[in-house]
Structure 1
Amino acid sequence: MPLSSRSLLLTPLLLLLGCSPAPELSKIEGYAQGTTYQFSFELPSESTTELATIEKAVNEEFARLDLALSNYRDDSRIEQLNAQKTTDVLAADDELIMLIEQARKVYHASQGCYDLTVKPLFDLWGFKKDVFSPPTEEALAQTLTTIGMDKLETVDATHLRKQIPELRIDLSSIGQAYSVERMGKLLENFGVHNYMIEIGGELQVKGKKPGNQAWRIALEKPLPNERKLQKVVSFDSGESMGLIASGTYRHFFDSNGKRYSHILDARSGKPVEHNTVSVTVLHSNPTIAGTWATALTCLGSADGIKIANENHIAALFIDQQDEQLIETQSDAMNELKGISFAPK
């Protein structure tokens, strides 16, 4: 399963460039991690680096990330670790440990709603093959015994231990946002400080476009079977900022008059039933933004707004009540400087 799928925890909201890039911008685009990507950036005037050199480095980094973190390929290092069904201490890359520990912080903050080990639940509900199959309470209870980040121990910076041999780590909910972060660092290593990186709708911006113009990003209205714009985000300050948006409104099953979201609460093992249809998170670190976007979408606005406030996370919740979309912003979102939201 590609990193971009988020293991069906959510489908990222479509994020579109608000304005066409100016001619002076360089562009790299293509297909990776099961989705499309687009980088727009300004090479420094003194740079002698060829665009082809940067594009080669981008492709090599995508290939490295894929081999390290992708759950859809059996030869990736994460799947090799998952295949070791043992409670012995296992060697792991420090990069993987870092991502697990970031996820663990949000796991605890979300009171277990967000969990990197939930993949068996998606298989149980039929989401893996896109065939809805509600489990029995007995099957659900049994599957819940095989998941839980509290059963994954970090021994040190390069070693893990599973407390149950069957435990599997799925990085789909964090891997794509981490890829955005890595690509930003890659561009900066080439001396680029004005850029927009977008991978499958998850993005990071820094600096300005030529002419001192702010990067402007359009957010999609979170309604199924529609492609309309909700509002435009303008990054006026030029500071580095990741924007990750998550939603329940694209992937779901309707059965016997009831809608079942693909977003599962790891605590109950069941699809969430709240009215929150999307959550947008802004953070200087895209990986942190992506992790929190997933967790807050799982929690929903009623519980999520309190937890976002406690953890100083800038989040925009959108709930659907009948035909009405209701927005709620966390305190940190209200306090953001240098970023403005405007209607479409």
Structure 2
Amino acid sequence: MDQTLMTRVLVPTLLDDSTRPLLGAQVRSLDGQTMGTTWQVRWTVQASVASVERVHAAVQAELDLVVDQMSTWLPGSDLDRFNHAPADTDHTVPPAMGEVLQAACWLSHESGGAFNPAAGALVNLWGFGPGPRYTDPGFTAPSDDAVQRALARNDWRALRWDGANRRLHQPGGLLLDLSAIAKGYAVDRVSRRLSAMGLVHTLVEVGGELRGQGLRPDGQPWWIELESPPVAHGQRPLPTTRVALHGLSVATSGDYRRAFTHGGVRWPHTIDPRQGRPLANGLASVSVLHAECLWADAWSTALTVLGREEGMALAEAHGIAALFVQREPDGQLSETLTPAMQALDA
């Protein structure tokens, strides 16, 4: 699409003809907090299929399950217990955590370690974990020696993940961190739970990751705009990208969300687990569209770490719909769309 046009419209290539809008229905909404961020659910109702209280309880139950199993912040979570387990021990994880680990380990292999669920030591070292935080007074970037020590503890292959039996190995000091995939998984769980309750027209969002099902009462899909990096003075604005979330999920990773500056260097929160340092590949953001939010979330992180060239190649090999925003040497922002993303352009 010509970037002089200021609005791009993306629609799914396959539409669910069996889904009919609930004409004259109402759109209801709920919101709250989870995982250190916010959540929101919208759904259309024509009759009392489910009360607001019942919907709220169902949503909270799914979010709480993900937190209880996969939170790095909650003492006593299944993930926390694994991280503090003795060296050379094997552990069985609960089913939901097993689903996430299965996807995470697969993508770690496919991305050559650009996506890494065992990078918790690095995340913590750079101040983006439970603590100490990069926002704490006096926090400084870690030394090279500290980075090398953390790198020695982030080999995801040392987990020896056995998906059939949901077993993983703690070699000693390895720290799981599923933050780059758990929010997307939570979105999927909430969406599926609502569908099981008879709510087929829903929009679910957790921390900016979204999944839309069905249609609004007016027959329109759930329209959203892709998150875009802030445009600085002198930068040309990028096209606005509107997406019809009809059986689609979206997630965006960017270098503008959380960062700190030390010694004149800006360190964004996304870490390259292969190098042990926050990214410096010039990518401002990557947005991914996928049927499942788990995969949109995970792929957006993996592609961001890989950078535009390597990321484009891997995304094309797997048919991933992605939009890359690059910071060019002249200070401008440029966009690159994978063929699968271009195919959605109406």
Give the TM interval when normalised to the shorter protein. 0.7 to 0.9
Q: Does 1:37 align with 2:39?
A: yes
> What corresponds to 1:106 in structure 2?
107
Task: Say if 1:224 and 1:249, in contact at 8 Å, map to a contact too.
Answer: no
Which residue of structure 1 lines up, in the alignment, with residue 80 of structure 2? 79
**What TM-score does the superposition give when structure 1 sets the normalisation length?**
0.84
Give the C-alpha shift of residue 186 in structure 1: 0.9
Task: Specify whether residues 96 and 220 from structure 1 end up closer, same or farther in structure 2 by C-alpha distance, changes over 3 A only.
Answer: closer
Between 30-39 and 308-317, the greater mean CA deviation after superposition:
30-39
Secondary structure (helix, strand or coil) at the match of 1:133 reads coil
Q: C-alpha distance in 1, partners of 2:292/2:35? A: 20
| 1:269 to partner: Cα distance | 0.7
- Gap runs ≥5 in structure 1: 1-21
Q: Is 1:326 the counterpart of 2:334 in the alignment?
A: yes
Partner amino acid for 2:60?
Answer: N
8 Å Cα contact 2:228-2:285 kept in structure 1? no
SS at match of 1:142: helix
- CA separation of 1:225/1:70 partners in 2, compared to 1, >3 Å: closer, same or farther? farther
**Aligned CA distance change for structure 1 residues 77 and 126 (closer, same or farther; 3 Å):** closer
Q: 1:203, 1:264 → 2: CA distance? A: 23
- Corresponding position: 1:195 with 2:197: no
Q: CA shift at 1:262, angstroms?
A: 2.1
* Structure 2 match to 1:124: 125
Rate the CA distance shift 1:162–1:133 in 2: closer, same or farther, 3 A: farther
> Which digits, 9 at most, give the CA deviation of each residue in 1:251-284, with x for residues without a partner?
2233344332222111111222111100000000
% of aligned pairs identical?
29
Amino acid at match of 2:37: T
Report what 2:28 is aligned to. Answer: 26
The answer on whether the counterparts of 1:94 and 1:157 sit within 8 Å (CA) in structure 2 is no
Please name the residue that 1:231 is paired with.
240
Counterpart contact for 2:290–2:320, Cα < 8 Å: yes
Q: Displacement of 1:313 after TM fit?
A: 0.7
Ranges in structure 2 where 5+ consecutive residues have no aligned partner:
1-23
SS state at 2:172 partner: coil
Q: 1:230 to 1:291 in 2, by over 3 A?
A: same
Measured after TM superposition, the shift of residue 311 of structure 1 is 1.2
Q: How many residues align?
A: 313
Amino acid paired to 2:317: E
What SS class does the counterpart of residue 273 from structure 1 fall into? coil
Supply the AA of the counterpart residue of 1:149: W
1:33 CA drift (Å): 2.0
| Secondary structure of the corresponding residue to residue 282 of structure 1 | strand
Counterpart AA for 2:296: A
- Whether the 8 Å contact between 2:253 and 2:285 is mirrored in structure 1 is yes
Q: Is the 8 A contact 1:277 1:318 kept in 2?
A: yes
SS of equivalent residue, structure 2 residue 26:
coil
Report the alpha carbon displacement of residue 149 of structure 1 after superposing the two structures with TM: 0.9
Residues 295/256 of structure 1: CA separation in 2 closer, same or farther (3 Å cut): same
User: Which amino acid in structure 2 is aligned with residue 275 of structure 1?
Assistant: G
Equivalent residue letter for 1:287? L
Residue 220 of structure 1 deviates from its aligned partner by 3.4
Partner of residue 213, structure 1: 220
Shift of 1:318: 0.4
1:293 aligns with 2:294: no
List per-residue Cα deviations over 1:54-87 (Å, max 9, x = no partner).
1122122222222122110112122112221232
Change (3 A) 1:225 1:63: farther
Q: 1:143 Cα shift?
A: 1.7
Q: Offset at 1:308?
A: 0.5
| Aligned counterpart, 1:175 | 182
Please, what TM-score do these two structures have when normalized by structure 2?
Answer: 0.84
| Superposed displacement of residue 36, structure 1 | 1.5
- On the 8 A contact 1:87/1:161 being kept in 2, the answer is no
* Whole-Å separation in 2 of the counterparts to 1:49 and 1:205: 19
Offset of residue 134 of structure 1: 3.3
Alignment root-mean-square deviation, CA: 2.3
* Counterpart selection for 2:253 from 242, 246, 257: 246
Distance 1:160 1:26 in 2: 41
Report SS of the residue matched to 2:160.
Answer: strand
* Mapped contact 2:226–2:287 kept (Cα < 8 A): no
Q: Quick one: which amino acid aligns to residue 240 of structure 2? A: K
> Which amino acid in structure 1 is aligned with residue 319 of structure 2?
H
**What secondary structure does 1:212 align onto?**
coil
Q: Residue type of the partner of 2:333? A: L
